[in-house]
Amino acid sequence: MISAIAMVLALLAVVCGAGLWGLTKVHAVGDGFLHGAHVQATKAAALQEQLGAIRRFEKDQVINYEKPEVVAQYHAKWMAAIQQATRIAQELGQGPADPGTAAAAAIAAAITDYAAKAEPVMKQLAATAYDTATVANRLLGPAKDAIHATEIEAGKLAAHVSAQQAAAAAELDEASHVANLLFGTAVVLAMVVVVPLTLANMVSICTPLAQAQAVAERIATGELSQDIEVSGKDETAALQRALASMQRALQSLVGEVRQTAASVQLASSEVASGNSDLSNRTEQAASSLQQTASSMQQLTSTVRASAEAAATANQLAHSASEVAQRGGEVVSQVVSTMDGIQAASRRIGDIVGTIDGIAFQTNILALNAAVEAARAGEAGRGFAVVAGEVRHLAQRSAEAAREIRALIGQSVAQVENGSALVQDAGRTMDEIVQGVRRVSDVIGEISAAAAEQSGGIGQVNTAVVELDRMTQQNAALVEESAAAAQSLSEQAVRLSEVVARFRTGRAERDAPGAVALAEPVRGAAPARAPAAATPPLSSKALARATPGRARQGAPVASAAKAPATDAGEWESF
């Protein structure tokens, strides 16, 4: 098989080499065409275009002989076209000597001759030295002969380039034909060799595969007693050896599974007994936890009532503190008012003093007026009477002012006494406010402590409830474990029956013993294991338990102690 594959690979390499050679040949010819004849044809076309531009710009200068600025514009374009045509002709003239390079060199020389002969006439046109265009056209006759020679050589160059293109196209067609012929021959040769090799390989592969298929079908029916004969060293022989090894492994596996099924049945009965004891203890723990939860709920209610009473007392203390604080504020306002009254009384006393001074001065002025009237004699008698009246009024005003001053003094003294009393009352109210605040703080601390106690007891109550819920989940888990143990026992019996259909030729003698171990488990209730031998449930088992199946009406132990009957009873359970 390896030699056939090597031959196929060699033929594939030949086919690929032929195709690669053909592609390389076609690419070389095409590359020569693109960089040779095609470039020459492009430059020849560009040269033809520039020659046409030279003749066109020449005529434009002659036609516009009366417009010097237009002639100057076309003259610049004419010179640029001459330079471009000369450059292209010189590029075409480079390379090996052939008719094309000779024609290109002749074109370059003719363009130079044309430019030398036409340049003086163009300068005269730019200077408006000619009266008519006919004169300028006649003077350009020698230059036109040179440009006509250029056009003739350009035709020769175009013919040479066309011939080169035709030759390159023919060479490309020939290279493509040779490549196709070589590639087709290699493909036909490969098919002639590969098809018989493929048929031979199919025969050598399919026959052992059919034998391996028959072995696999026999193993699938459970027949493991027949030996597999292997001959050869190829891949199919390796497959047959692998099937033989698999059959031996299956024989060993079937024997071990039979022994393991019996052990699983015995272990499942012990697990069922332990689950029964664990179920009883779990029910007792759940009952105790329910009583504890009830007591914690009563304690929580009592502490919550104490916390609410403390909170009410705290609110009343806050209200008393606010009332006392408002009373202190009112007393402060009264003190401020008394201070204003005292200041106003003093101001009135000052005003009365001023009035007393004015009365005293008026009395002196009246006395002076009486003295002056007495000096005047009979003429000042009337004035003396008026002065006496004024003096009398001044004396009465002074007496009234002294009485008012005395009253104001008494009022100021009383106001000062009242202000002192009000200040004492304000200090007393401040002390009351401070005392009420201290009482409120103490009650607040009591309320906070009661709230913390209530929260702590609530957490304990929550923990107890959670523990009760977990205990109920444990009970449900024990029920599931008991059912799983019984189901495991049934599955072990079923496994023994399934494995019994495999015929190993050496393991059948172990089957009756395994089935004999399974039969007592079906009819007898499992023995009750000691309580201390039951391991505690892990946290993962608690997490898998579902609260919805926490506590059913029937006792848990009955599920573990009941004999295994049929599948319908377990479905109802």
What are 60's two structure tokens?
């434009």
Phi, psi of 503 (to 5 degrees): -105, 105
Domains of the chain in start order, with CATH, are: 2-198 (1.20.120), 290-487 (1.10.287.950)
- Contact residues for 140 (Cβ-Cβ < 8 A; gap 6+): 58, 62, 117, 118, 121
pLDDT of 11: 66
Partners of 223 in the β-ladder: 503
User: 3-state DSSP call for residue 147?
Assistant: helix
Q: Give the phi and the psi of residue 502 in degrees, each rounded to 5.
A: -80, 130
- For 504, which DSSP code? -
Distance CA 402, CA 407 (A): 9
Is 162 exposed, middle or buried (CB count within 10 Å of its CB: 0-12, 13-18, 19+)?
middle
Gap between the Cα atoms of 222 and 114, Å rounded: 108
pLDDT, residue 96, reads 62
**Residue found by looking up tokens 């003698």 in the block:** 509
Exposure string for 257-280, b = 16+ CB within 10 A, e = fewer: bbeebbebbeebbebbbbbbbbbe
Per the CB < 8 A criterion, the answer to whether 524 and 243 are in contact is no
Single out the residue of 564, 237, 567, 306 nearest to residue 452, CA to CA.
306
* Nearest C-alpha neighbor of 365 from the set 403, 397, 400, 402: 397
Q: Which long-range contacts (CB under 8 A, 24 or more apart) does 456-459 make?
A: 457/296, 457/299, 457/300, 457/303, 458/300
pTM above 0.85, yes or no: no
Tell me if 300 sits within 8 A of 458, measured CB to CB.
yes
342 contacts 412 by C-beta, under 8 angstroms? yes
Note whether 223 and 251 are within 8 A (CB): no
Token pair for residue 535? 């391991």
Token code pair at residue 485: 């143990």
Q: How far is CA 488 from the centre of its chain?
A: 47
Backbone angles phi, psi at 223, to 5 degrees: -85, 110
If one counts every other C-beta atom within 10 angstroms of the C-beta of residue 520, the result is 11
**Pair of tokens at residue 152:** 């003739």
Token pair in block for residue 361:
């001065």
**Lookup result for tokens 């050896």:** 241
The gap between the terminal CA atoms of the chain, to the nearest Å, is 64
Measured between alpha carbons, how far is 472 from 465 in angstroms, rounded to an integer?
11
Q: Token digits for 39?
A: 């470039």
Look up residue 170 and give its two tokens: 């023919």
Report the length, in residues, of the chain: 573
Residues 267, 529 contacting (CB under 8 angstroms): no
d(CA 192, CA 139): 82
Other CB atoms within a 10 A radius of the CB of residue 412 amount to 18
Tokens found for residue 262: 């019996």
* 524 vs 520: CA distance, rounded Å: 6
Q: What is the DSSP string of 505-569?
A: SSSGGGHHHHHHHHHHHHHSPPPPPPGGGSPPPPHHHHHH--GGGS--SS-SHHHHHSPP--HHH
CA 528, CA 276: separation in Å to the nearest integer?
7
Measure the CA–CA gap between 431 and 441, rounded to whole angstroms.
Answer: 15
Contacts 24+ apart (CB under 8 A), 510-519: 510/255, 510/258, 510/259, 511/258, 513/262, 514/258, 514/259, 514/261, 514/262, 517/262, 517/265, 517/266, 518/261, 518/262, 518/265, 518/489, 518/492, 518/493
Residues paired with 503 in a beta bridge? 223
The pair of three-digit structure tokens given for residue 279, joined into one six-digit string: 């179920």
Are the CB atoms for 194 and 6 separated by under 8 Å?
no
Alpha-carbon gap, residue 138 to 134, rounded angstroms:
6
- Ordered per-residue pLDDT tens for the chain, 573 residues: 566 667 667 767 776 776 676 667 655 655 554 444 556 677 777 777 888 788 788 788 778 777 778 878 888 888 888 888 888 877 776 766 666 677 767 777 778 878 788 788 787 777 766 666 676 767 776 777 777 767 777 766 766 666 666 666 766 677 677 777 777 787 777 777 777 777 777 766 777 777 777 778 777 777 767 677 777 677 777 777 787 788 778 777 777 777 787 787 778 777 777 777 777 778 778 788 777 878 777 777 787 787 777 778 778 777 877 777 777 777 677 777 877 777 777 778 778 788 878 878 887 877 787 787 777 777 777 777 787 888 778 788 888 877 887 887 887 788 778 778 777 877 787 777 777 777 777 777 777 877 777 777 778 778 878 887 888 888 788 778 878 877 887 887 777 777 676 676 654 544 444 444 444 444 434 444 333 333 444 444 434 444 444 344 433 333 334 434 344 433 332
Distance CA 390, CA 396 (A): 10
